[in-house]
Structure 1
Amino acid sequence: MHIRNAKPGDYPLYDGQGLYLVRTAAGSLRWRLKYTRPDGRENRMALGALPEVSLAAARKARDAARELLRQGIDPVAHARERKLEARRISEANFPAAAAAWLAKKRSNWAPETYRKAKYIVEAYLTPALRKTSVATLGSREANAAIDAVIAKAPALGRKARQHLAGIVEDAIHDGLRNDGQRILFRPQARTREAKGHIPAATSLKEVRAVVQAIRTYPNPVVRAALELSMYTAMRPGVVASVPWEELDLESGEWLVPAERMKTRHAHIVPLPRQAVALLRALEPLSGRQTFVFPAQARQKTPHLNRDTLSAALRAQGLRGTHATHGFRGMLRTVARERLGIDPDVLEAQLAHAKKGEVAQAYDRTRFDEERRDAMQRWADFLDAQE
């Protein structure tokens, strides 16, 4: 084969035993192998381009393909299987498999549910299993990873086990792991989990401490976000990321769209007079940009981070006694005991999922007016605790 002196009209150039060099319309030179499949049909195999693949390398690839044919193996099918296997190995790497699982779940989860799952996977599971393949992950390794989560953050143990089981199940469905090869979690991995309630102020003394701690917090934006959480009992992630467009201060309503709710149902939140006043006071501070609570220094999110609210409560001495999510428990317990508000009204305010309920554009139950009255009474009660 005389490649160096070949002219365009000389192609294809044949080297023997099916190997030849073709010139494409774009002018590149590519190696091809003509061969007969084990079933008797003729086929072509691409071996690469010149000069990346030299004549010697092309001959070596040809000989390897002919050896496979002698064994009754189609070299093209063999190459395809090797690529698929390499892809499976790459996708079965735990970090990749976990990321793929999260990506699939994102569209079906509320933003806060996804954020929590992503945190558990990236902060705990992936570091522990980063060198592991979901194709070969065994029960011993899985239980060790869950035990490590429980040792550092007991409250996250149950969710970590649930997420790990989901990642493995997804790997089975995607063909990255053999059917039926599920993880057997040890009983102690279940029983050792801390199932305690989220810290919440439920006594009158504790409620007063929370109100006073919030009212004395120095940062006006964070303080206002904590007050809105306290007045409405909405989930902290929803409060921290509320955009101005969801608020109707004239009617005193906050319309939270379905995609921002854990229940995936849009929710109407009645705003007491105190909440409307603090939101109006925020307008000059935020310039009424997209978000009500703009990001503070060194925050990566375009709005206030919910973790900033947690940090503020801890800074005010409430660690272990009241958390940002605890405003919900505080309303459910104290408003029932101290104000005698009907539990169904409180459940409607908290937007807890109702089994068997038909989805609606907005969850306008018969408690609209009752909730408006209840939340105004709740705000007045809180103000009296200063």
Structure 2
Amino acid sequence: MGKLTDIQIRAWIKANERFEQRGDGDGLCLCFRENYAVPVWKFRYRFAGKQRIVILGSYSVLSLADARKTAKELSARVALGHDVAGEKQERKKAAIAKIEAEKNAVTVAQLCDEFFERIILPTWKHSDIVRRRIENDIKPCIGKMKAEDVKPRDVDDMLQTIVKRGAPTIANDVLRWTKRIFDFAVKRHVVIYNPASAFDPSDAGGKEESRDRWLTREEIIQLFQVMREMLGTFSVENLYAVRLLLLLAVRKEELIAAPWSEFDLDNAVWHLPAERTKTSSAIDIPLPPLALETLKELHRLANGRICVFPARKAQHRMIPHIDLNTLNAAMAKHIRPRLKDVPNFTIHDFRRTARTHLAALGVDPFVAERCLNHKIKGVEGIYNRHDYFDERKAALNEWANLLKALEEGKPDYNVIPMKKAKKGNTAT
């Protein structure tokens, strides 16, 4: 039989004439079995004394001319000693393996989630701090990448993005957590090496200096004036949060995540349990009248929900309180731009502000330190278990009076320094 023609092939298709093989020469043949919708091109050759076949494709996608060209190329490779059928099988296996690998690859986002669930949740009291760094900084930059594909340059790009937005301390935090996350990945054989291992703080936010920022009377007056002016865009709950953070000198996460069950408003005490404090030390916090007034209004606004600052959006139902970053974001967006003449400050600086004004009010250093739930250092801290509750109550009442005056725009509130408190009895 001579060379095939397109006219012949179309005639066979039209007549539905079935056949096992009709050759075109040089190993190229056409097959039209009963179970084929259209004829299929095959290339036949011998390799190491055995008959080998390569399926080239159907007539509907590979024309007679293209089939001949392909067969000629394959014949030349066979002449050079290549097993083209075997090579095709290897390519197919490699393609399938790559697809499976892609399907099973662990992304950085998945790695972060597993690290958070296995390492952070079981051991960290304030796990939201880590979750915030993961969700706000790591995932947006490299979360979609396969963990094994992350290179040092990707880590550097992520860190520099954070530094350029003016958050060097956060860049240092992100570096620390990225290192730990990829160390976790190395242990699980997800990656071979840690792409963040060569970095240190000088590559991120630099050496962190101890902060000494606190707000003066005039700055506190300006802060509350701007917050009142922005009510509507800056919620009254946010204003109350700032007031309570300044007044009670507690940490942000201790207040934001507080449930109402910790508060005894009738006796004006907040029972802050050890598991929710940074120092793992429970403390009873006396509530001055200004704090009670604020908390009662927040209780009304909470409308029966379990937290002092309940979640405001439906998508946060899994967390009963507002996100720990909510107040920071609201301050940055609505308040800081209107305080252009006030040097930058952070919410954490409110504790230092309270401590500084307590000192100005003549509060004994032991009492002031206990107001911040700081442990007393040295031998005194080991043997003295007196909690200075009455002294702390008097001190916070004085500070509340001053803070209320400043909220009302009265910078010249008359301060009469308190008498130094006597140290409490040592515990037996």
- Within-5 A mapping of 1:30-109: 90-91=105-106, 93-103=107-117, 104-109=119-124
Q: Distance between the aligned counterparts of 1:157 and 1:194, measured in 2?
A: 11
For the structure 1 residues 147 and 195, does the alpha-carbon distance in structure 2 shift closer, same or farther, using more than 3 Å as the test?
A: farther
For the structure 1 residues 292 and 125, does the alpha-carbon distance in structure 2 shift closer, same or farther, using more than 3 Å as the test?
A: closer
Deviation at 1:137, TM superposition (A): 4.1
Are 1:206 and 2:222 matched, yes or no? no
Query: Which amino acid counterpart does residue 255 of structure 2 have in structure 1?
Result: V
Q: Distance between the aligned counterparts of 1:90 and 1:293, measured in 2?
A: 40
Are 1:310 and 2:328 matched, yes or no? yes
**For 1:11-62, what per-residue CA distance to the aligned partner results, in whole angstroms no more than 9, with x for missing partners?**
xxxxxxxxxxxxxxxxxxxxxxxxxxxxxxxxxxxxxxxxxxxxxxxxxxxx
For the structure 1 residues 90 and 330, does the alpha-carbon distance in structure 2 shift closer, same or farther, using more than 3 Å as the test?
A: same
2:76 alignment counterpart = none
1:341 is aligned, of 341, 363, 373, to 363
Q: Distance between the aligned counterparts of 2:284 and 2:192, measured in 1?
A: 46
Are 1:270 and 2:296 matched, yes or no? no
SS in 1 for 2:316: coil
**For 1:239-282, what per-residue CA distance to the aligned partner results, in whole angstroms no more than 9, with x for missing partners?**
23322111011222111223332334333222112211222344
1:22 alignment counterpart = none
Deviation at 1:147, TM superposition (A): 2.4
**For 1:284-310, what per-residue CA distance to the aligned partner results, in whole angstroms no more than 9, with x for missing partners?**
433343223344467735444444433
Q: Is contact 2:172–2:205 with CA below 8 Å preserved after alignment?
A: no
Q: Is contact 1:332–1:343 with CA below 8 Å preserved after alignment?
A: no
Mind listing any 5+ residue stretches in structure 2 that lack a counterpart? 1-96, 409-428
1:154 is aligned, of 164, 168, 172, to 168
Q: Is contact 2:263–2:270 with CA below 8 Å preserved after alignment?
A: yes
Deviation at 1:154, TM superposition (A): 2.3
- Within-5 A mapping of 1:1-386: 90-91=105-106, 93-103=107-117, 104-111=119-126, 114-130=127-143, 132-135=145-148, 137-152=150-165, 153-178=167-192, 183-185=197-199, 188-190=202-204, 192=206, 197=211, 200-201=214-215, 203-214=216-227, 218=231, 219-296=235-312, 300=316, 302-314=320-332, 315-316=334-335, 317-318=338-339, 321-336=344-359, 338-352=360-374, 365-385=386-406, 386=408
Query: Which amino acid counterpart does residue 105 of structure 2 have in structure 1?
Result: S
Larger Rg: 2
* Bigger relative contact order, structure 1 or 2 (CA pairs below 8 A, ≥6 apart): 1
Q: Is contact 2:182–2:194 with CA below 8 Å preserved after alignment?
A: no
For the structure 1 residues 164 and 344, does the alpha-carbon distance in structure 2 shift closer, same or farther, using more than 3 Å as the test?
A: farther
Q: Is contact 1:214–1:227 with CA below 8 Å preserved after alignment?
A: no
Query: Which amino acid counterpart does residue 327 of structure 1 have in structure 2?
Result: F
**For 1:194-238, what per-residue CA distance to the aligned partner results, in whole angstroms no more than 9, with x for missing partners?**
75749641x221122234445666344333333222211222333
Deviation at 1:374, TM superposition (A): 1.6
Q: Is contact 2:152–2:195 with CA below 8 Å preserved after alignment?
A: no
Q: Distance between the aligned counterparts of 1:287 and 1:157, measured in 2?
A: 38
Query: Which amino acid counterpart does residue 327 of structure 2 have in structure 1?
Result: L
Query: Which amino acid counterpart does residue 188 of structure 2 have in structure 1?
Result: D
Query: Which amino acid counterpart does residue 128 of structure 1 have in structure 2?
Result: C
Q: Is contact 2:237–2:298 with CA below 8 Å preserved after alignment?
A: yes
For the structure 1 residues 373 and 364, does the alpha-carbon distance in structure 2 shift closer, same or farther, using more than 3 Å as the test?
A: farther
Query: TM-score w.r.t. structure 2 length?
Result: 0.58
For the structure 1 residues 132 and 321, does the alpha-carbon distance in structure 2 shift closer, same or farther, using more than 3 Å as the test?
A: closer
Query: Which amino acid counterpart does residue 351 of structure 2 have in structure 1?
Result: R
Q: Is contact 1:134–1:176 with CA below 8 Å preserved after alignment?
A: yes
Query: TM-score w.r.t. structure 1 length?
Result: 0.64
Q: Distance between the aligned counterparts of 2:205 and 2:243, measured in 1?
A: 37
Q: Is contact 2:186–2:192 with CA below 8 Å preserved after alignment?
A: yes
CA RMSD in angstroms, aligned pairs only: 3.7
Q: Distance between the aligned counterparts of 1:87 and 1:268, measured in 2?
A: 54
Q: Distance between the aligned counterparts of 1:312 and 1:87, measured in 2?
A: 40
Q: Distance between the aligned counterparts of 1:247 and 1:256, measured in 2?
A: 8
Mind listing any 5+ residue stretches in structure 1 that lack a counterpart? 1-81
Q: Distance between the aligned counterparts of 2:398 and 2:348, measured in 1?
A: 21
Q: Is contact 1:258–1:265 with CA below 8 Å preserved after alignment?
A: yes
